[in-house]
Copies of this chain bind each other. A is one copy, B any other.
């Protein structure tokens, strides 16, 4: 079972396996998908960075515990164990901006 990449990159929601917290959203292409599946760690693709492994810079790798696809195969849900903060700001989750 694979995402449908025919329309381009597919969003991947990253959720902490223990707390259920949504940590970040990033994007996958086929290469990032295959790397994630092969290594058990989260890999993504972006226009700015190209192919990148989460944690390669920060050391905060993400161990993928569960992978799910949505009903039409154009979104990915990764349930992970994160070695540290998901956000480059040092926050546990990138979603730290609460809209009042």
Residue of B nearest to A77 (CB): B95
Cα A1 to Cα B25 in complex, Å, equals 19
| Contact in complex: A25, B73 (CB < 8 Å) | no
Q: How far is the CA of A91 from the CA of B71 in the complex (A)?
A: 9
Copies in the complex: 2
Q: Give Cα distance in the complex from A67 to B96, angstroms.
A: 10
A96 CB contacts on chain B under 8 angstroms: 68, 71
Query: A70 to B11, alpha carbons, bound, how many Å?
Result: 14
A41 to chain B, nearest CB (A): 15
Q: How far is the CB of A62 from chain B (nearest CB, A)?
A: 16
Which residues of A approach B to under 8 Å, CB–CB? 1, 11, 13, 15, 19-22, 24-25, 37, 66-73, 75, 77, 87-89, 91, 94-100
